[in-house]
Amino acid sequence: MADLRPIGVFDSGLGGLTVVKALRNILPNESIVYFGDTARVPYGNKSQELIQEYSREITHFLIKNDAKLIVVACNTASALALNELQSNTSIPVIGVIDPGADEAVKATNNNNIGIIGTVATISSKAYEIALIRINKDIQTISHACPLLVPLAEEGWLAGDVVNAIVKHYISPLNDKKIDTLILGCTHYPLLKDVISKQVSNGTVLIDSAAAVARAIKVKLLEINQLNNCNELGTLSCFVTDIPMRFELVGQRFLGAPMDHVQTVHEI
């Protein structure tokens, strides 16, 4: 049976389009409704109460738009609001933390895993909790990297300034001999090249976008809601504001042109 209803994906802004890109690679037939809260981004320096309130509103919006499953593509919202959403939502809600942590535990050889993310994600210790739950011998070291989101948004993906900032954030992690680094933020995959230059040789970078896409496929199979028709799925995007250079930034995250974008004034 083909379940034609869309997958609902949300993020604080456009960064979650990296998850949409991974989803479209692995599940090309699935239609996607994407919600980017561009008027209220960033979430990374907001309180848990506010992040939970915004996440609840967006989840309702996606359910009203017929979503069969919700993906919290935002690491910050996954870290601070996922449990609450899962307890109060009738359809499955999947976040990015557990799939990313799973992937990291599989990748590490020396059990030393580094995590980078927004201030809110790092303060929540959500990745640490998920990693230890999988393997209690894992040692973690984490670092908030607040400047990396604006750099990625501005398209500053290389050069001396970016190298210096990334080096500043990554050096303490290298000192702890990590062999695996979780890119715990939607925006960091765009900075993968510069990050990989700054980590010690052989450190594996974990981009949770691909891991979460695989977890969604497994979930849809399990609940018998996969769309296995032969047609390519559609992508509809909703945002709360059209920011400057919206298309340029969006395309960079999605790796394809963004069409069918609608502005939502009231959620």
Tokens 């040692």 belong to residue: 139
Q: Is-contact 134 101, C-beta < 8 A?
A: yes
Contacting range for ligand DGL; rule: CB under 6 A; set: 62-70, 162-170, 179-187, 250-258: 179-187
The dihedral sign for the CA sequence 115, 118, 123, 127: negative
Rounded Cα distance between 65 and 234, Å, is 14
Binders in 22-51 for ligand DGL, by CB under 6 A: 41-44
Q: Which is nearer to ligand DGL, 22 or 149 (CB)?
A: 149
Q: Is-contact 7 66, C-beta < 8 A?
A: no
Is 237 among the catalytic positions?
no
Q: In the chain, what is the greatest distance between 2 CA atoms, to the nearest angstrom?
A: 53
Q: What are the backbone dihedrals phi and psi of residue 227, each rounded to the nearest 5 degrees, phi first?
A: -95, 100
Work out whether 189 is an interface residue with ligand DGL (CB under 6 A): no
Buried b (16+ CB within 10 A) or exposed e, 192-204: eebbeebbeeebb
What is the smallest separation between the CB atom of 152 and ligand DGL, expressed in angstroms?
9
Question: Chain centroid to CA 247: how far?
Answer: 19
What is the smallest separation between the CB atom of 88 and ligand DGL, expressed in angstroms?
21
Work out whether 121 is an interface residue with ligand DGL (CB under 6 A): yes
Is 74 among the catalytic positions?
yes
Contacting range for ligand DGL; rule: CB under 6 A; set: 9-17, 55-63, 131-139, 155-163: 9-17
Q: Which is nearer to ligand DGL, 166 or 226 (CB)?
A: 166
Work out whether 208 is an interface residue with ligand DGL (CB under 6 A): no
Return the active site residues.
Answer: 74, 185
| Contact residues: ligand DGL, CB under 6 A | 11-13, 15, 41-44, 74-76, 117-118, 121, 149, 185-187
